C-alpha cells in the first residue's frame, strides 16, 4: 500500500470505497457469494476463491483501514478479541507477552484464561512507566501489547518510548488504538509495528456491528502468519459486517471530533461537581497523562470515567438516574452510554467500585450535562 496523499477526512470517505467496477454502483454491493468461479485453466480470474480466504467487501474494508492507519496491510476479523487472538496465536508456546496492566479486561482475560493454559507466558506491566517495561523484558519476551488511552482509567502510554525499548530487544509492538481511532492517534508514526482495533466501537460507530482489525506497518513473515490464521482459524467477518464497518468509517472523523468535543465539556462539568471525587479524562490539565496525550494525540477522545465521593452506592444511583444516557457497556456509538464499570468487569476487576464510565455520543453537550446533573442531584 502506498502512503496516502490525502488528509484523513478524505481517506475516511474514499479509501476502499469508490464505484463498483462491475456495475458503477456508488455504494458498494454486498457480495454474499461464498465461492467464486475458476477459469478453465484452474486460476481465479478476479483473485477470489472462497469467502473464508477473501471476500470483496472484506478486501475493501481492509484497504480502507490500511490507508487510515498509514500501514502496509490490514486484516479484518469477526470481533476485536478475535483480531487479538490471531496476534497471540501467531506466537509460540513459551513466548512471553507483556501487556498494559489496565488494558481492556477482555484482552487480559483472553491472555490469562485462554492463552496462559496454552503455555504463552503473560506478564502485565505499567506501560505508563517506560523503566518498568524495560525491566520486565526477558530473553523470551516476544510481544509488547499496549493500550492507550487505557480502559477505564484513560492512562496514557508513551508510544515512541515503547517502540524504542522494544526495538532494542527485538520485541514486536502492538497498540490497541480502539479508543483514539486513527483520526486522533497514528501509532505507526511512533514506530509501533501493529495496530489493533475493536471495529465494534468507533469504526462501526452505531452499536450495530462487531468486528476487529489488525493493521501492519510492514508486510513480513509475521503478517503472513496472521493472514494464515485469518483464513485457516476462520474468525472472519461477514460481508455485511464489512459493509457496515466501511460505511461507518466514512463518517469516523466527524463523529470522533463531535464526540470528543462533548466529552471535554462533560469532563469540565464533572471536575467542578461536588459529588465527584475524581475525573479521568486526558483532556483535563490535571490528568497525569495530559501533556503526553497533547503531544501524541490530535484530540483526547470521547470516553471518560469518574469516581463519586459517595462510594459504590452513589455510583449506582448516578447510573440509575440517567434519562438520556443509556445504561449499557461498550463505547464508540453515536448514542451516549454509561455504566458502573466494576460490576461489568466481574469479581477479578481492579476498577474502583465507585467508578462510572461514559462513552459520549453526538448529542448536544448541554443536554448530556443536564442529564448527569439531574442524575447526581440528590448527592
Ligand atoms: C471492545 C474492546 C475490545 C474487544 O473488542 P470486541 O469487538 O468486543 O471483541 C478490545 N479493546 C478495546 C479497547 C475495546 O474497547
Task: Encode pLDDT of 46-61 as tens digits.
Answer: 999 999 999 999 999 9
Percent of the chain at pLDDT > 90 equals 94
What is the percent of the chain with per-residue pLDDT over 70, rounded to a whole number?
A: 99
Which residue has the least CA distance to atom 1 on ligand 1?
198
Residue pLDDT, tens place only, 119-158? 999 999 999 999 999 999 999 999 999 999 998 999 999 9
| Ligand 1 centroid, distance to 212 Cα (angstroms) | 8
Same domain, 126 and 218: yes
Segments forming the whole domain that contains residue 233: 8-249
CA distance 195 to 214: 6
Instruction: Judge if 147 and 203 occupy the same domain.
Output: yes
pLDDT at 62 exceeding the cut of 80 = yes
Long-range CB contact pairs, 327-332, < 8 A, 24+: 330/200, 330/201, 330/207, 330/359, 331/179, 331/201, 331/202, 331/302, 331/303, 331/359, 332/178, 332/198, 332/200, 332/201, 332/202, 332/203, 332/204, 332/205, 332/207, 332/302, 332/359
Q: Establish if 261 belongs to a structural domain.
A: yes
Boundary residue ending a domain (207, 234, 249): 249
In a domain, 128, yes or no: yes
pLDDT of 379 strictly over 80: no
Going by pLDDT thresholds of 50, 70 and 90, the confidence category of residue 1 is: low
What mean pLDDT comes out for the span 255-273? 98
302 shares its domain with 245? no
Cα gap 174→197, rounded to integer Å:
10
Residues with CB under 6 A from ligand 1: 79-81, 104, 106-107, 147, 151, 176, 178-179, 198, 200-201, 210, 212
Same domain, 204 and 347: no
Grid cell at residue 78: 469477526
> Measured between alpha carbons, how far is 172 from 333 in angstroms, rounded to an integer?
31
pLDDT at 110: 98
Closest residue by Cα to residue 215 from 174, 250, 180: 174
Q: In DSSP terms, which residues pair with 276 in a beta bridge?
A: 308
* pLDDT tens digits for range 3-20: 789 999 999 999 999 889
pLDDT of the residue at 334: 98
Candidate list 52, 109, 123, 225, residue with the active-site label: 52
The pLDDT-based confidence of 347 (bands split at 50, 70, 90) is confident
Are 245 and 324 members of one domain?
no
What is d(CA 158, CA 181) in angstroms, rounded to the nearest whole number? 16
- Same-domain status, 271 and 190: no
Q: How far apart are the first and last CA of the chain?
A: 55
* Cα 13 to ligand 1 centroid, rounded to whole Å: 24
- The answer to whether residues 366 and 272 belong to one domain is yes
Quick check: 105 pLDDT over 80? Answer: yes
**104 in catalytic set:** yes
Q: Give the residue, by CA position, lying nearest to ligand 1 atom 12.
A: 104
173 membership: H or E segment, kind and range: strand 172-176
Q: Are residues 175 and 243 in the same domain?
A: yes
pLDDT at 80 over 80: yes
Which pLDDT belongs to residue 241? 98
Of 221, 249, 277, which residue constitutes the final position of a domain?
Answer: 249
Sheet arrangement for strand 141-147: 73-77, 212-216, 194-198, 172-176, 141-147, 96-100, 121-125
Whichever domain contains 187, its CATH number is 3.40.640.10
Identify whether residues 30 and 56 lie together within a single domain.
yes
Task: Give pLDDT, residue 2.
Answer: 56
Supply the mean pLDDT for the chain. 96
Mean pLDDT, residues 32-40 taken together? 97
Q: What angle do CA 172, 150, 317 make, to 5 degrees?
A: 155
Question: How many structural domains are present in the chain?
Answer: 2
How much is the average pLDDT of 176-204? 98
Is residue 22's pLDDT more than 60? Answer: yes
What is the predicted pLDDT for the residue at 21? 87
Q: Which residues contact 344 (CB under 8 A, 6 or more apart)?
A: 329
For residues 282 and 171, membership in a common domain is answered with: no
- Does 359 reside within a domain? yes
316 lies in a domain? yes
Query: Among residues 104, 155, 186, 241, which one is catalytic?
Result: 104
Answer whether 249's CB lies under 8 Å from 12's CB. Answer: yes
How far is it, in rounded angstroms, from Cα 241 to Cα 17? 15
| pLDDT at 278 > cutoff 90 | yes
Answer yes or no: is 2 within a domain.
Answer: no
In a domain, residue 1? The reply is no
Question: What are 176's strand-pairing partners?
Answer: 147, 196
Q: Is 3 a member of any domain?
A: no
Does residue 327 sit in the same domain as residue 192? no
Residue 54 lies inside a defined structural domain of this protein:
yes
Tell me how far the alpha carbon of residue 330 lies from the centroid of ligand 1, in angstroms: 8
- What's the CATH code of the domain at 308? 3.90.1150.10
Residue with cell 497498540: 175
How high is the pLDDT of residue 75? 98
Could you confirm whether 341 is annotated as catalytic? no
Clarify whether residues 234 and 281 are in a common domain.
no
Q: Which of 204, 229, 249 is the last residue of a domain?
A: 249
Amino acid at each position: 500500500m502506498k502512503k496516502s496523499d490525502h488528509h484523513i477526512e478524505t481517506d475516511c470517505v474514499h479509501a476502499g470505497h469508490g464505484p463498483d467496477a462491475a456495475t458503477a454502483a456508488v455504494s458498494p454491493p454486498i457480495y454474499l457469494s461464498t465461492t467464486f468461479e475458476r477459469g478453465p485453466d484452474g486460476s481465479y480470474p478476479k483473485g477470489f476463491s472462497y469467502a473464508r480466504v477473501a471476500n470483496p467487501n472484506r478486501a475493501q474494508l481492509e484497504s480502507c483501514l490500511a490507508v487510515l492507519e498509514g500501514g502496509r496491510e490490514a486484516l479484518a476479523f469477526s470481533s476485536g478479541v478475535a483480531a487479538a487472538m490471531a496476534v497471540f496465536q501467531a506466537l509460540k508456546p513459551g513466548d512471553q507477552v507483556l501487556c498494559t496492566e489496565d488494558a481492556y479486561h477482555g484482552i487480559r482475560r483472553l491472555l490469562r484464561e485462554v492463552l496462559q493454559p496454552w503455555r504463552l507466558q503473560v506478564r502485565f506491566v505499567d506501560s505508563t512507566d517506560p523503566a518498568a517495561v524495560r525491566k520486565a523484558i526477558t530473553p523470551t519476551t516476544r510481544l509488547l501489547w499496549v493500550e492507550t488511552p487505557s480502559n477505564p482509567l484513560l492512562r496514557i502510554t508513551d508510544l515512541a518510548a515503547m517502540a524504542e525499548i522494544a526495538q532494542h530487544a527485538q520485541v514486536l509492538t502492538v497498540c490497541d488504538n480502539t479508543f483514539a481511532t486513527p483520526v486522533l492517534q497514528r501509532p505507526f508514526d511512533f514506530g509501533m509495528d501493529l495496530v489493533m482495533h475493536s471495529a465494534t466501537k468507533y469504526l462501526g460507530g452505531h452499536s450495530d456491528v462487531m468486528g476487529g482489525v489488525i493493521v501492519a506497518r510492514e508486510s513480513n513473515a509475521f503478517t503472513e502468519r496472521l493472514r494464515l490464521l485469518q483464513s485457516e482459524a476462520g474468525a472472519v467477518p461477514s460481508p455485511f459486517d464489512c459493509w457496515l464497518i466501511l460505511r461507518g468509517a466514512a463518517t469516523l472523523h466527524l463523529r470522533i471530533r463531535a464526540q470528543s468535543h462533548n466529552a471535554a465539556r462533560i469532563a469540565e462539568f464533572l471536575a467542578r461537581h461536588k459529588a465527584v471525587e475524581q475525573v479521568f479524562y486526558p483532556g483535563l490539565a490535571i490528568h497525569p497523562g495530559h501533556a503526553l496525550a497533547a503531544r501524541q494525540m490530535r484530540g483526547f477522545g470521547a470516553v471518560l470515567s469518574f469516581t463519586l465521593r459517595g462510594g459504590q452506592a452513589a455510583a449506582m444511583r448516578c447510573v440509575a438516574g440517567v434519562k438520556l444516557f443509556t445504561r449499557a457497556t461498550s463505547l464508540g456509538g453515536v448514542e451516549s452510554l454509561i455504566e458502573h464499570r466494576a460490576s461489568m468487569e466481574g469479581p477479578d476487576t481492579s476498577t474502583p467500585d465507585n467508578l462510572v464510565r461514559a462513552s459520549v455520543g453526538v448529542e448536544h453537550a448541554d443536554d448530556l450535562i443536564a442529564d448527569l446533573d439531574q442524575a447526581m442531584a440528590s448527592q
